[in-house]
Structure formats: structure tokens, C-alpha cells
Structure 1
Amino acid sequence: MEVGMQTTAGIWWESTGEGEPVLLINGLGSCSASWFRVLPALRDYRVITFDNRGVGRTGHRPEPFDLATLASDAIAVLDAAGVTRAHVLGLSMGGLIAQEFALSHPDRVSSLMLVSTHAGIPHLTVAASAVATMAALPPGERSRALAPLLYVDQTPAAEIARDEEVASAIPTTSEGLRSQLVAAAPWDRYADLHQLAVPVLVLHGREDRLVPLSAGEKLAAAIPHSELVVVETAGHRLFTDQTTTAMDAIADFLARAA
């Protein structure tokens, strides 16, 4: 396993495996450790993960930043890893970063996977204020408060507890979470999505309470030739709710896009 620090931005990243590169971009408040359910299904690829500003081993940064900065950080990670082009998977807020990445640097993207995400908060029908309020809570309370929005009712408590255990190993501070919310709030490139020319998969849980399926449908409709796959009995954390089904969709898409 190759591990490196991108010193120009202080972004922590790691690379595992061999094959075509796949870059994974985390959602709001999540660090790279949260990909533990996804990595086994990507064993035939070189998988590059990193911690966005504000979370994990990168940590909170005092200077303000926006989504374009986060996309530039992702480019810096690929540069540090010696990767010219990658398949890019963005989850939730990571999907916004992935869209910005692909629109600003189309030559660096082989394909795009947008999971549990949307076309920007201005196009989201759920109030972001609820998440902003929860950002002020201590990490443990924050996880418990968010759980009803993240999982379906059928998700085993043990699986939710496993997610919380991984998240608590390197807890995200309220300051780090707020800085990411501030970065994401104004982002809006909905009018530019028609420019995306690479293969695009939009993967969404039918019962997502945080980012409703309608947001995923709107996103897919704005991207020419995109493919929308809806995962049944799955919420926002569809990799927890329906790991096998979700990863089968990812694996099938990558096999066709490679």
C-alpha cells in the first residue's frame, strides 16, 4: 500500500491495489475510513482515497474554502499519486465535488459515479438547516441525531453501530463540519451539467430521506446519456443498507466504462 501526504494542501491520501485508477470522494463530515464496505468490491482497481479539508487526517483548516478548492485538492491528490485520469466516485457532498472536478478538469475523468447526491443545495428540496443545526452537536450525539435521515428502518442496528465506530475513530469537529457546509451551500453548476461527456452513473436509494430520490432523478435528467440506478430498500447510506446490490451496480458500470 502506498501512502502519501500532499504537502502543498496538507491533504492526506492513500492508494491501494493495481489496475485502472478509481478515486473515491467522501461526503459531508466523512473521512476515508468510511469506505470499508466499498473497497473489497474494487479489488481489481487501483483505489485512491483521501480526506477532504475539515475531516479525518487532513483535519480542519482555518482558512475558508469552497467546492472548487475541494475539487482542486482532488486533482492534487491524483497528481501526487502519478495518475493522469481516473474513474471518479463521489458520495453525497462528494458527488458535488466530483461534478465540479469533472466540469473543471474533464481531461482527468474516465467516468463519473454520483451516489446519493444532487445538483447542488439550491436544487435540493430538503432543508439544509437541519444538518447545519446538527453540526453543532458533539460527534456521538450528531451520529444518533442523523441516523433516521441516513438509513432505512430495516438497517440492522449492528451495521449502524459499525459505521459509528469507524466514524468515531477520527471524529469530525463541529468547526470542520461547518466549514464543509459553508463550502457546499452556494455551489450551483446545474446549468453546466449538459457538458459532461464521459459515462455517468447516478446511483440512489429509493428511500433516501436526506437527499430524496427526486433530487437524483433531476441530476440524472440534466446529464446527457447518464444512467440512473435506483436501489430498493436503501436510504442515504446505501452502501450500508444494500452493500451487495449497490456495489454490483458500481462494478457493472466500471466494467462497461473501463
Structure 2
Amino acid sequence: MSTLPRTGHAVAADGTRLAYQWHGTGRPLVLLAGQANDHTWWNRTRGDFPSTITMDYRGTGASDAPDVPYSTTLFADDVLAVLDGLGVAEADVYGTSMGGRVAQWFAARHPGRVRRLVLGCTSPGGAHGVERTNDVRLALAKRHSAEAREALEDMMYTPAWRAANPGPYTVLGAHGMPPHAVRGHLVASNTHDAWDVLPRITAPTLVLHGDDDVLAPPANAPLLTGRIPGARMHVFAGARHAYFDECRPESSVLVREFLG
């Protein structure tokens, strides 16, 4: 994208400074990254859309990292603080992985702020969600070991795609996170439960998933689609968690067409 990003910080209700990046012009698409990741999660795909707002979650990137309990509802409040700080009354929202969990809360709590919603490789959480296995959780918790990062790469991308695209990959966790923030992000994702509020989402919703995803099992896609009024779904055959990278340009085209 030719225009330089507009960058800065918004301030959350508790005083936490939240870094944001606004690329392009026009109606913005808010892109929300996965657990313990910052805005670089979207480096490969951000340019597929004319106007995007990304942010660094608290605890990541250039945002503050207060040692407080983290939750997907708190992260949703942080999204609101960024949009308010930028003067954006309404936006499209595209959340993947934990970002999809955050997007669920944001869309349910602030229906007037979301024009259209895309939920990728995510889960409603709680008793109704189909959760990742304990060995996957362990890999996320120990992501800085070489063995764990290798396992995480394999959960994100198929071997064939990795062979053709050797990296570096920007979806394996933000650098420099303090230990309390890593733990906080893990707890936030694991304790997410938006099942009861999903029917409150009024924005037209598109649910996307790879059918070989072990980080967010694909059985969650029809659960979300059935729970959110009028939602529709598309599943990418053979794709793993980072379908938005591996299945480009198809996935980005689908999102652009859905957003109109």
C-alpha cells in the first residue's frame, strides 16, 4: 500500500496506552490478531484491503503491559478505546484466532459500531466450544523453545506451504512480551465464553476456517454460524490455523466481496 500508516497510541479506561496503525483511506477494516501477537500478524494480508486499522494488544508490541488480569472482554474494551481515539464511529471487523474471540464480544456489546463482521479460525469458547487439546496448549505456553516453535509452525501452515514460503513467519508470537503478559493472553483465550451473547450480534457475519486446524478445531465454525443470526460460513480444504496466509488470495477475495 503506497500511503504511510498513521500510527500512535489510544488510552484505555485504566490508562493503558494502546498502539495502533491505520493504513490506507476510506472505511476501515479493523484487523484483530491471535493470542500473544501484535499487529505484525497481518503483515502478509494487510495490503489486500484498502483501509485497515490494526493494534497491539496490551502486553504486546508498542502497547503498555500492565500486570492485571487479561480477558477477551478487556481486549474488546481496548478495541473500543482505539476506535474512539481515532474518531471512528463504525467499522468492519475481522478477527482471527483469539482476535475472533475479541471480535465476538465487541460486536455483541457494541452493535452500532460494527458494519460487517468476519470471524476466522476461532471459537465461541466455554462449555459449547470445541477446545484445543492440552498438548496444543502446552506448545502455546512454551512457545519460545525451538521445539515448541517448530510445532507451532506446523499447526499454522501445511508442510508444502512452508517449503515454498520459508518465512520468517509473523504469527508465532510477539517479541519481548513479559512473562505475565504471555500468561495473561493464554488465560484470556482459554477462559473466553461468548456463547450467551452471540445471538445479540446484528452485523452480517462471515465465518472462515481451515478444516485441518488443531489450534481452533473446525467444529467451532458451524457452532458460530448457527448461533449468530444470519451468519454464513466457508471452510478451506486442507488449511490449518493461518488459512488467511496460506489460502491467499482466495480468503482475502472472499472477505472483500463480503464487505462489499
TM-score, normalised via structure 1 length = 0.89
1-side partners of 2:127 and 2:150: how far apart? 26
Shift of 1:56: 1.8
Unpaired runs of 5+ in structure 1? none
Residue identity in the other structure for 2:257: D
2-side partners of 1:71 and 1:169: how far apart? 19
Matches within 5 A, 1:240-251: 240-251=245-256
1:156 maps to 2:162: yes
- Whether the aligned pair in 2 keeps the contact of 1:51 and 1:57 (CA below 8 Å) is yes
- Whether the aligned pair in 1 keeps the contact of 2:96 and 2:119 (CA below 8 Å) is yes
Runs of at least 4 residues of structure 1 off by over 6 A? none
| Structure 2 match to 1:228 | 233
Deviations 1:42-86 (A, max 9, x none): 02xx21100112222225321112221110000000011110011
Q: Secondary structure at the match of 1:71?
A: helix
| Structure 2 match to 1:29 | 36
Shift of 1:137: 4.3
Alignment CA distance shift 1:168-1:74 (3 Å): closer
- Whether the aligned pair in 2 keeps the contact of 1:59 and 1:176 (CA below 8 Å) is no
Unpaired runs of 5+ in structure 2? none
Residue identity in the other structure for 2:169: D
Matches within 5 A, 1:1-258: 1-7=5-11, 8-43=15-50, 46-58=51-63, 60-127=65-132, 129-134=134-139, 135-138=141-144, 140-157=146-163, 159=165, 161-164=167-170, 170-255=175-260
- Whether the aligned pair in 1 keeps the contact of 2:122 and 2:221 (CA below 8 Å) is yes
What fraction of aligned residue pairs are identical, expressed as a percent? 31
Residue identity in the other structure for 2:68: E
- Whether the aligned pair in 2 keeps the contact of 1:28 and 1:180 (CA below 8 Å) is yes
- Whether the aligned pair in 1 keeps the contact of 2:125 and 2:131 (CA below 8 Å) is no
Shift of 1:24: 0.8
Cα RMSD over matched residues?
A: 2.1
- Whether the aligned pair in 1 keeps the contact of 2:16 and 2:64 (CA below 8 Å) is no
Shift of 1:107: 1.2
Which moves more between the two structures, 133-142 or 108-117?
133-142
Alignment CA distance shift 1:172-1:128 (3 Å): farther
Q: Secondary structure at the match of 1:230?
A: strand
Alignment CA distance shift 1:196-1:241 (3 Å): same
2-side partners of 1:186 and 1:103: how far apart? 17
Deviations 1:144-188 (A, max 9, x none): 121222222322335353215x75773445432210121222221
Which moves more between the two structures, 23-32 or 115-124?
115-124
2-side partners of 1:145 and 1:59: how far apart? 29
Shift of 1:212: 1.8
- Whether the aligned pair in 2 keeps the contact of 1:89 and 1:98 (CA below 8 Å) is yes
TM-score, normalised via structure 2 length = 0.89
Q: How many residues get paired?
A: 252
Alignment CA distance shift 1:126-1:194 (3 Å): closer
Q: Secondary structure at the match of 1:182?
A: helix
Shift of 1:108: 0.9
Q: Secondary structure at the match of 1:14?
A: strand
Alignment CA distance shift 1:29-1:113 (3 Å): same
Residue identity in the other structure for 1:52: Y
Residue identity in the other structure for 1:148: D
